[in-house]
Amino acid sequence: MLMEEVKQECDLGTNGVVLVRKFFFDTYSTCINGSIFAGLKMDVASYVIDLLISDLYDEQLVGARILQKFSTNEWFSSDMLNWKDPEEEEIRLSAAEILSKLT
C-alpha cells in the first residue's frame, strides 16, 4: 500500500510501481548488507540516473520513463535544476539545453 501511495503522489504512472518497489528493495538491501547510513543517503533522482547508465535495457527504459515523468510533472520540474547545489543551476540548465538540441 505504501508503494502504491508513493506512486500516486509522485504521479509516476504504470512504471512507477516497478521503480518504487525496486528502489525500496535496493535501499533495504543496502541497509541490511552494507551500512544503514548508505541506505539513508539514497534518493530516487540519483537512483533513476543509475538506471539510465545500466547495461540492462529494461532498467534504462524504466529510468528514462521516470525521469521523463519528473521533468514534465509541475511539482518536480520546478526543482529539477536545483536538486544538488543552487550554484550549479546554470551548468545544468546549459547541459539541458544542449541535450534538448541533440535529441
pLDDT tens, position by position, 34-64: 887 877 777 887 888 888 889 999 888 888 8
Confidence of residue 15 (pLDDT cuts 50, 70, 90): low
pLDDT in the model for residue 56: 93
**Alpha carbon 103 to its chain's center:** 20
Q: Is 44 exposed, middle or buried (0-12, 13-18, 19+ CB in 10 A)?
A: middle
Q: What is the mean pLDDT of the chain?
A: 78
Q: Decide: pTM greater than 0.75.
A: no
